[in-house]
């Protein structure tokens, strides 16, 4: 059974998640939801595989979100805050706005595509079980192929099958999928070749304390991809376009790099930071070609 951040059922108080589950991830809820709706927007064709069978892949489409029991059929129902970040769901029926922080249950709504199974060969149909991929409790892994970002995935659980009496898709059967946000895997596909590594990093905002709860996981000629501990009390916000100071201490090579960068991508627990400048002789200067090579070589030999 998947662990859920949100409620598994709609409008049933007995099925609400424990308060501790919501409380521990409330700070990240807006970022998780922003990432999810960015990668799996309403109206965009996606792919999926059922029950962890990665060799059985079908096409699908996110046709709606179900937020606290309300069906939202248009991407325009997602509204942004004053800073331009997605922050609210607007309920069409009454104009009510639900802040991301107030979301108790969230499902991705897809059509019933069980008929696609007829295209499978005998062995794969037998492995799947006839017409059973959308049985309540089953796992459906959604795949998003966003241009320039690579392939991202999230595991979901079939929460409910709904035959609507009205609405734009009545009387079709709709499948409600509850995402397990702990499984959201966001890949990054940059134009520059990148190298996977694992190197500790100290980081701060321009006027804040250095925080060591960060790890560089890959580097290209232009950017670093880092994992951060979002729960660290001194971790800076690091929104898109915010600038940060980074210190990389490669003690074995007797090297230390003091860098400035700008956040260009933001996902839960992940940032992609464009390299702007390197500290030399007491002042920050733009990177030169040799500087990039020295940094990459040092990180690769950590």
User: What mean pLDDT do residues 243-259 have?
Assistant: 86
181 DSSP assignment: G
C-alpha–C-alpha distance, residues 115 and 214, integer Å: 46
Banded pLDDT at 146 (limits 50, 70, 90): low
Q: Where are the beta strands (DSSP E) in the chain?
A: 45-50, 58-61, 64-67, 70-72, 78-80, 86-90, 97-99, 106-111, 139-146, 150-163, 173-179, 195-205, 211-219, 223-228, 243-250, 255-267, 270-280, 283-286
pLDDT of residue 35: 85
In the chain, DSSP finds a helix count (H) and a strand count (E) of: 3, 18
Q: Give me 148's structure tokens.
A: 């320039």
Radius of gyration (C-alpha) of the chain in whole angstroms: 22
pLDDT of residue 248: 92
More confident position, 221 or 47:
47
- At 161, phi and psi to the nearest 5? -110, 130
C-alpha–C-alpha distance, residues 208 and 206, integer Å: 6
Nearest Cα neighbor of 235 from 266, 205, 273 is 205
pLDDT of residue 122: 75
- In the chain, the largest separation of any two C-alpha atoms, in whole Å, equals 71
User: What mean pLDDT do residues 90-106 have?
Assistant: 86
H helix or E strand, kind and range, residue 123? helix 122-128
C-alpha–C-alpha distance, residues 93 and 249, integer Å: 56
Residues in contact with 25: Cβ distance below 8 Å, sequence separation at least 6, in sequence order: 5, 32, 181
100 DSSP assignment: G
Nearest Cα neighbor of 72 from 45, 41, 46 is 41
pLDDT of residue 194: 56
C-alpha–C-alpha distance, residues 215 and 273, integer Å: 12
C-alpha–C-alpha distance, residues 235 and 247, integer Å: 14
- The predicted-structure confidence for 1-34, as pLDDT tens digits, reads as follows 333 434 333 333 333 333 223 333 445 677 788 8
């Amino acid at each position: 059974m998947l662990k859920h951040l949100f409620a598994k059922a709609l409008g049933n108080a007995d099925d609400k998640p424990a308060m501790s589950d919501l409380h521990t991830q409330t700070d990240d809820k807006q970022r998780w939801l922003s990432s999810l709706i960015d990668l799996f927007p309403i109206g965009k064709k996606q792919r999926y595989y059922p029950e962890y069978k990665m060799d059985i892949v079908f096409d699908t489409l996110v046709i709606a979100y179900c937020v606290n029991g309300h069906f939202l059929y248009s991407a325009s129902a997602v509204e942004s805050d004053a800073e331009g970040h997605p922050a609210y769901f607007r309920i069409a029926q009454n104009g009510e706005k639900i802040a991301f922080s107030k979301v108790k249950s969230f499902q991705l709504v897809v059509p019933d595509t069980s008929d696609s199974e007829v295209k499978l060969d005998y062995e794969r149909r037998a492995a799947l079980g006839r017409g059973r991929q959308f049985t309540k409790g089953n796992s459906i892994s959604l795949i998003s192929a966003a241009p320039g970002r690579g392939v991202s995935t999230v595991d979901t659980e079939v929460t409910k099958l709904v035959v609507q009496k009205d609405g734009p898709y009545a009387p079709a059967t709709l499948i409600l999928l509850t995402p397990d946000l702990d499984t959201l895997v966001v890949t990054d596909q940059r134009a520059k070749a990148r190298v996977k590594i694992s190197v500790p990093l100290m980081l701060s905002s321009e006027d804040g304390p250095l925080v060591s709860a960060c790890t560089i996981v890959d580097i290209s000629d232009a950017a670093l991809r880092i994992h951060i501990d979002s729960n660290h009390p001194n971790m800076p916000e690091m929104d898109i376009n915010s600038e940060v100071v980074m210190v990389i201490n490669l003690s074995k090579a007797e090297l230390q790099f003091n860098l400035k960068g700008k956040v260009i991508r933001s996902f839960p627990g992940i940032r992609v930071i464009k390299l702007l400048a390197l500290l030399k002789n007491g002042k920050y200067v733009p990177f030169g070609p040799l500087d990039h090579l020295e940094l990459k070589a040092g990180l690769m030999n950590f």
